Amino acid sequence: MTAARTVALSLDDITVTTRSGDSIVQNVSIDIPAGSIVGIVGESGAGKSTVALSTLGYEQAGTAISSGRMHLGDREVTFPAKAFVSDIRGKRIAYVPQEPAVSLNPSTRVAASLISMRRLHGMDADISYIRQILRSVHLPSDPGFLRRYPHQLSGGQQQRLCLALGLACEPEVLVLDEITTGLDVVTQEAILDEVRRLATERQIGVIYITHDLAVVAELADRLVVMYAGEIVESGPTSEVIRRPAHPYTKALIEAAPSHRRPSRVRPLDGIVPAIDARPSGCFFAPRCPLATEICRTEHPELGDLSDKHSVRCFHTEKVEPVLEPQLRETGILVEDPKVLLAIDELTASHKTKNGRLTVAESISLQITEGECVALVGESGSGKTTIARSIIGLHTFDSGTVSLGGEPINPAVRSRTRDQRRRMQFIFQNPRGSLNPKQTIQEIVTRPLTQLRGLGRVDAEREFFSLLDEVRLPTSTAGKLPRELSGGERQRIGIARALAAQPDLLICDEVTSSLDVSVQAAVLELLRELGRDRGLGMLFITHDLGVVASIAHEVLVLLKGRICERGSVSDVLSKPSHDYTKSLLFSAPSLQRAADRIGILKGDEDEDRTRTI
Amino acid sequence: MIKWIGRQLSAGGVSLILLLLLIALVIFGPLIAPYSPTESAGVPLSRPSGAHLFGTDTLGRDVLSRILLGGQLLLIMSLASTVLTYLIAIPIGMIAAVNKGVVDDILMRGVDVLIALPAMLVLLVVLSAAGSGIPIIIIGTAIVRIPLVSRVTRAATLEVFSSEYVESALTRGERIWSIFIREVMPNIKEAVFSTVGLSFTAAVLIMSSLNFLGVGLQPPSPDWGIMISENRSIFEMNPYAVLVPTLLLAILTVSISGTWDSFERRSGAKRTKTPVVPKVRASAR
């Protein structure tokens, strides 16, 4: 590390409250040195974005930055600030939001958006300077590109343009809010490289907000871990990753799936408490394995472990080093497994303006009892179309789908009730897949009566045993989907699929909208269900870590074709196709970050360190 | 004191009170009408007096009695035609949304034709040709609103039908009507029924216009539209015979849409309340 840097931005004791007086974020203090990257990590509801927006003095509807101070160079702002000065927002501190596709004005051309950004802040908008900004984020700067509209750019280019807009006024601080969420891993890697380079070259202080620990582990110089609106741990990335001092940080690291080798994830039970339901003691106490009486009654303060590392925990000395990932069984546990699903030469296409576009070509695969086959690919690789073709929601062009040896009709409508029962689909988005007007009991009971023909009494008994199986309390029965958290909703999605007593589950990106700790719990649940019920599973995902924690067999999809297939250990450790290699290389990894740090730092603190 | 009342009474509250008063008038009016609405009861064109509160018309009929009876048929027929509109339009919209292709084209182009033709003109022609029977007036008025309601239904259904919970029902092999009733209707009813206030108002206005133009209900039946039409030539002699029915019609339409709007807003506010962070939302409003 270099010598003491100038601090670009310092947040001091920031508290953001709702009008009713509950605090969303409390007493957050962060220093962002010039030229370095500070990562803010936390799950949904942690208050990360609220902190990010408070650096701009921006208050979301119904909230207010009620106290705190902010230093930006020589400038000091005390909250509540009457009018946040516009020469700071967008000019000295720039914000890059999460979704480039919606944050760019669809009717403004590339050059025009950059020019108006500079003019807005009273700066000259010379075209040669615009070109230079575009080049600095590795975008083309030819006149043709300058005249493009956002929809004519790829996802990665849109995000680069957002970065360029952030840089347009030469800010001292750049606030990046989940900017790579939704991008594929190769593009993500490129954007992260860009961020790293810009921070060093331009001596900008960067706040990088994400839910993905692996991303910041490889990127940030310092990590700030937030939970339920406050900082629970903050310190140099190497220290936080290698020997977390807070049980939550440790749990986050252990819950993150690793794509290095097939291993189990360790779920963290419970959910982040709602803003108005935070416990009186330590906010993490209800989920903490180390919690004692004092944790439930007193609220811990943020204490210093060293001059750089601080933690908010009474029992930090009891926090064990991060556990080695537990390797898992990669063989199929069912004896003499029968083939459940066989797909032969399946080809599917979509109708477009210029005829049909083939999105999946010559796909063949087999799934046996107790086997989980993962179909890996990026957005646009055709993986969802394949899944929908199998379940019968998309009519494929050619090929056969056989269930238990018999070919089945492409259209779900023309299949028999038993065929529909034996194959169940779990949807990506648990919010959209549950009818918002039906209670949980209505939702889960429907397949029981519809596909299995159970009577009312039997269906009710079966419903409660299903709730138990997906580990939800019986009080869930009368609730509406919106009253549940994302993880709970996805469990309902699973329960609805299990209600049919299927042989085969088709899971389409089922964990992609969930927090890491919740994702771990859902993955473990599915893995156990597959094992105990001997279910065959087709697992569709873009996340290699998820693959490593559940799959037996992996198929890698590139532009609608299978480019590599093999057992999970072979594909992860000895990839043969270049595309698989690039996927594995680009995917951010906690382990790689830890190893890299290990190489950099040598063995100076051997005593508490273990490889993760 | 006046300020206090003002604060207690929202626009919706006032509309509701006015609407209830009008409904009471329509229901109980016939019971308290002092004279027959269709027979001569005094000297023609007499000014308001103790015997005839709003005077008499050219034929010597009591204006008050005619007013008290003049809303009944109008209100019943408007209600019937509004119900009919929704009974026809909702299935059309849902079927069109689900059968993209020929069925959608046929239904929606039919709807386009209805939109393109001036409704009043068509009704005039139809009623002149087919006669002014009460069923024909009701059906004719109902058809005028079908394009809008079926379009709203179609758009809302399209959105719901692309949702994953409908797909989940499809993979269970649910029948299409079961999907309509269980999955689609509960989720589109807010969008569709938000148009009820406007549709009802429109039905009242169209019907009174038809009556005014002489192709709807026929004299001597007492009706506000007919009264305005009959009595506008004697406006100088007995202005009440025109002004009171006009005012009542205006109050009726305004209070219907005002009441429905505030009803919508209230149920809308209840819906958007998320239990996860209720306080944030509540204060944001």
d(CA B130, CA A189): 74
d(CA A79, CA A91): 19
Q: Give the residue-averaged pLDDT of A357-363.
A: 89
| Domain assignment of residue B69, yes or no | no
- Give the SS3 label for residue A33: strand
Question: Which residue of A61, A391, A434 is in closest CB contact with B171?
Answer: A391
N-term to C-term CA, chain A: 23
pLDDT(B146) > 70: yes
Question: A-side interface with B, Cβ within 8 Å?
Answer: 18-20, 22, 24, 61-63, 274-276, 391-393, 412-413, 415, 417, 420, 424-425, 427-429, 432-438, 446-447, 450-451, 482-483, 485, 496, 500
| Domain assignment of residue B59, yes or no | no
Residue of B nearest to A480 (CA): B275
| Domain assignment of residue B123, yes or no | yes
| Domain assignment of residue B174, yes or no | yes
Which residues of A are less than 8 Å from B283 in CB distance?
18-20, 62
pLDDT tens-digit readout, A516-535 = 888 888 898 898 888 888 89
pLDDT band at A185; cut points 50, 70, 90: confident
Cα dihedral A132→A136→A140→A144 (10° resolution): -30
Question: Which residue of B165, B172, B283 is in closest CB contact with A447?
Answer: B172
Q: How many CB pairs under 8 A join A and B?
A: 85
Question: Which residue of B183, B187, B280 is in closest CB contact with A18?
Answer: B280
Which residues of B are less than 8 Å from A415 in CB distance?
173
Query: B98 at the A interface (CB within 8 A)?
Result: no
d(CA A571, CA A560): 19
Q: Give the residue-averaged pLDDT of B51-62.
A: 87
- Least confident range from A223-232, A314-323, A340-349: namely A314-323
Best B280, B281, B285 member to test A by mutation, with max A CBs in 10 Å, is: B280
* pLDDT score, position A85: 67
pLDDT band at B181; cut points 50, 70, 90: very high
Q: Give the residue-averaged pLDDT of A282-297.
A: 90
* pLDDT score, position A3: 44
Q: Mind giving me the DSSP string for A392-460?
A: TSS--SEEEEEETTEE--SSGGGS-HHHHHHEEEE-S-TTTSS-TTS-HHHHHHHHHHHHS---HHHHH
- Of residues B175 and A81, more confidence is placed in B175
Q: Give the residue-averaged pLDDT of B21-31.
A: 90
* pLDDT score, position A387: 92
Domains of chain A, first to last = 339-588 (3.40.50.300)
A222 DSSP β-pair partners: A38, A236
d(CA A451, CA B173): 9
* pLDDT score, position A38: 95
pLDDT tens-digit readout, A114-161 = 999 898 888 888 888 899 889 888 889 899 999 999 988 888 888 889
Find the domain containing B169 and state its range. Answer: 74-221
d(CA A172, CA A169): 9
At A393, the amino acid letter reads: L
Contact B283, A19 (CB under 8 A): yes
Q: Which residue has the tokens 């269930």?
A: A403
* pLDDT score, position A5: 63
Contact A325, A264 (CB under 8 A): yes
Cβ of B275 and A276 within 8 Å? Answer: no
Cβ of A20 and B276 within 8 Å? Answer: no
- Of residues B285 and B161, more confidence is placed in B161
Question: Which residue of B173, B182, B279 is in closest CB contact with A420?
Answer: B173
Residue of B nearest to A499 (CA): B172
Which residues of A are less than 8 Å from B170 in CB distance?
393, 412-413
Helix, strand and coil content of chain B, in percent to the nearest 5, comes to: 75, 0, 25
Cβ of A427 and B183 within 8 Å? Answer: no
Count Cα neighbours of B210 within 13 Å in the Cβ-side half-sphere: 32
Cβ of A482 and B282 within 8 Å? Answer: no
Cβ of B174 and A436 within 8 Å? Answer: no
Cβ of A450 and B173 within 8 Å? Answer: yes
Residue of B nearest to A60 (CA): B284
Contact A195, A188 (CB under 8 A): no
Average pLDDT, chain A: 87
* pLDDT score, position B270: 59
* pLDDT score, position B138: 93
Q: Peptide bond preceding A588: is omega within 30 degrees of 0, i.e. cis?
A: no
> CB A97: neighbour CB atoms within 10 A?
18
d(CA A311, CA A243): 12
pLDDT tens-digit readout, A435-446 = 999 999 999 999
- Of residues A600 and A102, more confidence is placed in A102
φ/ψ bin of A404: left (φ > 0), alpha (ψ from -120 to 50), beta (otherwise): left
Q: Give the residue-averaged pLDDT of B55-60.
A: 87
B152: domain CATH number is: 1.10.3720.10
* The two structure tokens encoding residue A217: 């582990």
Cβ of A435 and B165 within 8 Å? Answer: yes
* pLDDT score, position B7: 64
Average pLDDT, chain B: 86
- For residue A120, give the nearest of A158, A94, A148, A143 by alpha carbon: A94
pLDDT(A379) > 70: yes
* pLDDT score, position B86: 95
d(CA A91, CA A169): 5
* pLDDT score, position A516: 84
d(CA A399, CA A382): 16
d(CA B105, CA B167): 23
pLDDT(B278) > 80: no
Query: B284 at the A interface (CB within 8 A)?
Result: yes
- For residue A566, give the nearest of A316, A365, A282 by alpha carbon: A365
At B132, the amino acid letter reads: S
A462-499: burial string, b at 16+ Cβ within 10 Å, e else: bbeebbebbebeeebbebbbeebbbbbbbbbbbbbbbb
Give me the residues of B, 143-202, that contact A with CB < 8 A: 163-165, 167-174, 182-183, 186-187
Cβ of B173 and A20 within 8 Å? Answer: no
Residue A447 C-alpha, separation from nearest chain B C-alpha, in angstroms = 7
Q: Give the residue-averaged pLDDT of B34-53.
A: 85
Domain count, chain B: 1
> CB B122: neighbour CB atoms within 10 A?
14
DSSP H helices in A168-236:
185-202, 213-219
- Give the SS3 label for residue A319: coil
Residue of A nearest to B187 (CA): A437
| Domain assignment of residue B125, yes or no | yes
Say if residue B209 is exposed, middle or buried (CB neighbours under 10 Å; 0-12, 13-18, 19+).
middle
Cβ of B168 and A432 within 8 Å? Answer: no
- Of residues A609 and A94, more confidence is placed in A94
Which residues of A are less than 8 Å from B172 in CB distance?
420, 446-447, 450-451, 500
* pLDDT score, position B39: 86
d(CA B265, CA B217): 36
pLDDT(A404) > 80: yes
Cβ of B187 and A435 within 8 Å? Answer: yes
Residue B280 C-alpha, separation from nearest chain A C-alpha, in angstroms = 6
* pLDDT score, position A609: 39
For B278, residues 6+ apart whose C-beta sits below 8 A from its C-beta are: A276
* pLDDT score, position A603: 42
Most confident region among A93-97, A99-103, A249-253, B78-82 by mean pLDDT: B78-82
Strand pairing of A536-541 and A553-558? unpaired
The length of chain B is: 285
Q: Give the residue-averaged pLDDT of A584-604.
A: 71
Q: Give the residue-averaged pLDDT of A255-262.
A: 84
